[in-house]
Amino acid sequence: MNPEINAKAEAWLSPTFDETTQKEVKKLIEQDSEELTESFYKNLEFGTGGMRGIMGVGTNRINKYTLGKNTQGLSNYLKEAFLGKLLKVAIAYDCRNNSKELAQVVADVFSANDIQVYLFSDLRATPELSFAVKHLDCHCGIVLTASHNPPEYNGYKVYWQDGGQLVPPQDSEIVAEIERLDYSAVNFDAKKKHITYIDKDVDKAFIKASLENGSFSELDKHRDDVTIVFTPLHGTSITIIPDVLEGAGYKNVHIVEEQRKPDGNFPTVKSPNPEEPEALKMAMDLAEEKNADIVIGTDPDCDRLGIAVRDNSGKLVLLNGNQTMVVMTDFLLENYFANNTAKGNEFVGSTIVSTPMMETLAKSYDIECKLGLTGFKWIAKMIVDYPNQKFIGGGEESFGFMVGDFVRDKDAVTATLLACEIVTKAKKEGSSFFKKLQDLYVKHGFFKEDLTSLVKKGISGAEEIKQTMIDLRENPLTTINGEKIVKIDDYASSKSLKVSTGESTDIDIPKANVLIYHTDQGSRIAARPSGTEPKIKFYISVNDNAESLEDLKKVEEKLDAKIAGILKELGI
């Protein structure tokens, strides 16, 4: 047994921790050294989407004490950052096991520190929390969620007063404040007078804003022509998306009944992740039965959405996040410039590992596409950093999209409505969502992406991931699949290397453990360890021109072969 780990565990046998926790820790010490090590070898860290982890006892687990310590540290920081102000926070939670209880713990600690708490009375979608922070004029917000992680996970996401997730410098400053604390410093003694439960009033305001941003009046007479199948995948979206669709005028909405009820065990799916085709199988089956035009599934906290639409032969096909994003962005831009005189200061947002087609698309409208690191907090930060520019919308490859800036996080509520509006307009014009995507490929080039994730769990897995990134940096590729590497972007060093000359230029984006290879044929290979899951992700993007709609199949086969060749050379 590692003496340091043993000492950390034994500290949890003190009276600071309740009897149940002490018994669990003692059991690990006596019976399960491997689980003890995993539970105590480090402290849970803030990653791309906040802090996520397996629930259980220990410093590397989600529990009353790790969340209590975070909240105490955040309370201390808020008092320093907003000296003399009456502090307000909003708290929401999703359908996961223990989310409600953990949210109450967080509310109790804030209230014990004389901070006014607005706590949702029941589970809510994550984007509504982002909205509530601004709507209620709060200084920060918390949502208890682990997005689409497996059932044993939970998490803690922190939002700042603009409604966006924590970004530098607040994130590192808050972490430093938390790390200075001992668990005995956490004040769990709630002052109930500081806790206000919120529900319908905020719901109504959020629905109104979603309808204003995601629906278009010229389609009012045509929504009856569209049939929608929707699944919340046992998550929070059931509390809001049906109401938004009804408010827009959609009547032919069919919900997958077996997946309607919120359930943190997610009994009908292996993973509640709309990025995975298997998660939407029941919805796809129902769509065939109802002859639906579109299938939409959202993840447990309702910030991501997966979409299936009918192709030119009438077959339902699943779209990836990049494809959905470019169609949605083009639709928003087309509508915006049809109804507004161009100011020249508009922009859309995306991420460095999402499709480069977003930049090409923005250029065609003569506007800017700003790129940030992975995670919607960076897109939200763009809005704060460029207050004189108008944000139209933005997305990332991992099935997230944000319409306008009334929410400062990926928002599957308004994005679901937007997707249905696109289908409605296309059908009215004798086209389809799928055909709109094809038209964009012919106009701007056929961009095709692939994401491969390698799961590496535990301490040994973390070391494997670390070594893989070291190897890619210290022994960089010079060619791949017959294509010459011409540029290497290393976001850890903030340097972009032009391979032919050895010339290095600065990258004006915050540092991150991401490495991107660019080839002479326009292909791009990115490697990135996940910030919230035990994975290393490889993002591949290839592209070619398609002269016509008839040319698309041949071009796609060529791009598929390119991707297969790249994956083979990478050995994944």
Q: Tell me the CA distances in angstroms from 501 to 479, 506, 518, one per residue in order.
A: 16, 15, 15
Q: Is 518 left (phi over 0), alpha (psi -120 to 50) or beta?
A: beta
Interatomic CA distance for residues 540 and 161, integer angstroms:
35
pLDDT band at 48 (very low <50, low <70, confident <90, very high): low
pLDDT bracket for residue 45 (50, 70, 90): confident
CATH number of 446-570: 3.30.310
Taking only the tens place, the pLDDT of each residue in 526-541 is: 999 987 678 999 999 9
Q: Is 147 marked active-site?
A: yes
Comparing CA positions, the residue from 190, 201, 15, 203 lying closest to residue 103 is 190
3-state SS assignment for residue 198? strand
Res 50: pLDDT? 77
Give per-residue burial for 471-484: e unless 16+ CB within 10 Å, then b: ebeeeebeebbebe
Strands (E), 440-510: 446-455, 479-480, 483-490, 495-498, 503-506
Chain region(s) in the chain for CATH 3.40.120.10: 42-199, 224-444
Three-state SS at 330: helix
**Which helix (H) or strand (E) element contains residue 421?**
helix 412-428
Residue 247 CA to residue 420 CA, distance in Å, equals 13
- Cross-sheet strand order for the sheet of 88-93: 51-54, 153-160, 140-144, 88-93, 116-120, 195-198
CATH class of 42-199: alpha beta
Domain with CATH 3.30.310 in the chain: 446-570
Mean pLDDT of 316-326: 97
- The answer to whether the CB of 162 falls within 8 A of the CB of 384 is yes
E strands within 4-115?
Answer: 51-54, 88-93
Please tell me the distance from the alpha carbon of residue 325 to that of residue 343, in angstroms, as a whole number: 23
Query: 224-444 is classed in which CATH architecture?
Result: 3-Layer(aba) Sandwich (3.40)
**Helix, strand counts (H, E) of the chain:** 17, 23
Catalytic residue among 111, 147, 354, 432: 147
Please give the average per-residue pLDDT across 179-196, as a whole number: 97
3-class secondary-structure state, position 47: strand
Beta strand segments in 13-115, E: 51-54, 88-93
Q: Which helix (H) or strand (E) holds 128?
A: helix 126-135
For the stretch 234-286, pLDDT in tens is 999 999 999 999 999 999 999 999 999 999 999 999 999 999 999 999 999 99
pTM of the model: 0.95
Residue 458 pLDDT class (50, 70, 90 cuts):
confident
Structure confidence at residue 352 (pLDDT): 97
Q: How confident is the model over 492-507, as pLDDT tens digits? A: 999 999 999 999 999 9
Question: Mapping DSSP to helix (H, G, I), strand (E, B) and coil, where does residue 415 land?
Answer: helix
